[in-house]
Amino acid sequence: MSSPPPKKTSTASAPTGKPAQPQKATKPAKPEFMDPQAKKEALELIRLRNDFYRDNYRRLIVVLLMLLVLMFSMVYWIYYLTSHRPSPRYFATNTAGGLIPLKPLSVSSLSITALQNWTARAAAASFSFNYIQLKQQLENVKDTYFTSSGGDMFLSTLIKSGDLDAVTQGKFIVTSEPTGAPEILSQGIMGSGSYKGRYAWVVRVPLVINYESILENISSHRNINVQMTVVRTSPLVENVATSIDSLQGIGISQLLVQGTSNNFGPPQPTTPAATTTAASATQTSLSESAIMHTPISVAA
């Protein structure tokens, strides 16, 4: 038979009714004695650290104040620029990059000499063309020397007169040149018409037109007087900048031709005639009487 298990014995002490006493903390060991030199070095290190923080704190305060001043200065400058913005200034330039003085259309923009030279070139170019480059030459003259309406009426008059057909069929080369100085008949501000309020001149240019036909091997010439009304225009709006002459701020609004010689040379059907007085008179453009003019006579 097996023996009974042994009885377990408890090692716990019987309660006495008194609370357990806490254990007393052990006291740290006293530090060893510090060397005076090491202690001095440690204190010096602490002092240097404190001085470093103190000095840099002052520097940061100064930098912060400077940044605040700079920030307020920039805010004020931005406000000044936005509230005192200068008005834009516009200027005109020509094809060569040069400046063009802008003047009101109600005042004269050229001297008398400059106007005479310009009208002489305009009259000669208006009646200088050949049967090969006829359309291109007339378009260049129109864009350079005429206003929009004046150029259209000039070409329309040439077509109605039959001169362009005669040049093409007879293979003519037409050249012209002034025979005297242009004469300014009147000038002033336009009182009526589509160019009312603009400054204008009425100029007469004596011209000789030379005809030379390659087909019939004939040549002739004709003396005429070209009377044109020149008005102030804007070179930025109405003219195509093909040359310096188209940038003068003036243009021909009406061109009248009066023949002073009947020396045509070849027969009328095969010889191109310049625009006649009757044909030119049918143009519905500005007349000389529409100008509040001051007559000026220029000696030839």
Residues of the chain with pLDDT under 50: 1, 10-12, 14, 238-239, 261-300
Quick one: what percent of the chain has pLDDT higher than 90? 35
pLDDT of residue 232: 93
Amino acid identity of residue 133, one-letter, is: Q
Could you tell me which CATH number the domain at 112-259 has?
3.10.450.230
Q: Decide: 228 and 120 in contact? Cβ < 8 Å.
A: no
pLDDT of residue 217: 77
pTM: 0.59
> What value does the CA radius of gyration of the chain take, rounded to a whole number of Å?
51
Q: Decide: 153 and 159 in contact? Cβ < 8 Å.
A: no
Q: How far apart are CA 240 and CA 182, in angstroms?
A: 25
Which H helix or E strand runs over 80?
Answer: helix 36-83
Total length of the chain: 300
Q: How far apart are CA 224 and CA 201, in angstroms?
A: 20
Q: How far apart are CA 82 and CA 70, in angstroms?
A: 18
Question: Distance of CA 137 to CAs 74, 118, 144, 216, 256, Å?
Answer: 61, 18, 11, 23, 20
What are the structural domain ranges in the chain? 36-85, 112-259
pLDDT of residue 292: 37
Which string of b and e fits 140-164 if b means at least 16 CB within 10 Å?
bbbbbbbbbbbbebbbebbeebebb
For residue 222, how many C-alpha atoms fall within 13 Å in the half-sphere facing its CB? 24
Structure tokens at 282: 């049918």
pLDDT of residue 252: 94
**For residue 187, how many other CB atoms are within 10 A of its CB?**
20
Q: How far apart are CA 264 and CA 114, in angstroms?
A: 33
pLDDT tens, position by position, 9-45? 544 454 555 555 656 556 665 556 667 788 788 888 8
Structure tokens at 24: 């007393």
pLDDT tens, position by position, 177-207? 999 999 999 999 998 888 999 999 999 999 9
pLDDT of residue 285: 33
Q: Decide: 149 and 193 in contact? Cβ < 8 Å.
A: no
pLDDT of residue 7: 54
**For residue 139, how many other CB atoms are within 10 A of its CB?**
15
Amino acid identity of residue 119, one-letter, is: T
